[in-house]
C-alpha cells in the first residue's frame, strides 16, 4: 500500500470517526436532555410528594383536633349526665324517705284509731253486761267492728308497701 492510499484511508477513517463523534455527541446531548428532564420530573415528583404529605398531615391534624374536641364534648356531656343522674337519685331517695315517714305516720294514726276502737268495744261490752239497751249497743258494736276491719285492711295494705 502506498502513501496515497494510506492517506486516503486515514482521511476516510477520520471522516468515519468524525461521523461517529458527531453521532456520539448527539446521543450524549439526547442522554443529557433525558437526564435533565428526568431530574426535573424527579424534582416535580418530590415537590408533589411533599405537597401531598403536607396536605395529608394538615388534614390528619385537623381531624385529630376535631376528634379530640368531640371527645372533650362527650366527656362533658357524660359528666353532666352523671351529675343529673345523681341529682335525680338524691331526689328519689329524699322522696322515698318522705313517703316512708308519711306511711309510718299513717300507720301510727291507724294504730291509735284501732286502740280507740278496742276501748269503745270494751265499753260496749261493759254496757251489754250492765244491761243497757242491747239493740242499740249491738248496732254500735257492728259499726265499730266494720270500722275495725277496714282499719285492718288499710294497715295490711300500708304495711305491704314496706315488704
Give pLDDT, residue 117: 80
Confidence band for 131, pLDDT divided at 50, 70 and 90: low
User: For residues 63 and 55, what is the distance between their CA atoms, to the nearest angstrom?
Assistant: 12
Average pLDDT, the chain: 89
Residue 104 has pLDDT above 80, yes or no: yes
Give pLDDT, residue 115: 87
Each residue's pLDDT tens digit, 20-53 = 999 999 999 999 999 999 999 999 999 999 999 9
Amino acid at each position: 500500500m502506498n502513501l496515497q492510499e494510506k492517506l486516503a484511508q486515514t482521511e476516510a477513517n477520520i471522516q468515519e470517526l468524525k461521523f461517529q463523534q458527531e453521532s456520539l455527541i448527539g446521543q450524549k446531548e439526547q442522554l443529557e436532555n433525558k437526564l435533565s428532564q428526568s431530574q426535573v420530573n424527579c424534582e416535580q415528583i418530590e415537590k408533589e410528594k411533599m405537597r401531598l404529605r403536607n396536605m395529608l398531615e394538615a388534614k390528619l391534624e385537623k381531624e385529630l383536633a376535631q376528634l379530640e374536641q368531640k371527645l372533650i364534648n362527650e366527656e362533658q356531656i357524660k359528666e353532666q349526665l352523671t351529675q343529673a343522674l345523681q341529682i335525680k337519685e338524691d331526689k328519689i331517695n329524699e322522696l322515698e324517705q318522705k313517703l316512708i315517714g308519711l306511711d309510718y305516720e299513717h300507720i301510727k294514726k291507724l294504730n291509735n284509731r284501732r286502740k280507740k276502737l278496742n276501748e269503745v268495744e270494751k265499753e260496749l261490752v261493759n254496757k251489754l253486761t250492765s244491761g243497757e239497751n242491747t239493740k242499740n249497743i249491738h248496732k254500735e258494736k257492728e259499726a265499730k267492728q266494720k270500722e275495725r276491719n277496714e282499719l285492718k285492711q288499710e294497715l295490711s295494705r300500708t304495711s305491704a308497701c314496706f315488704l
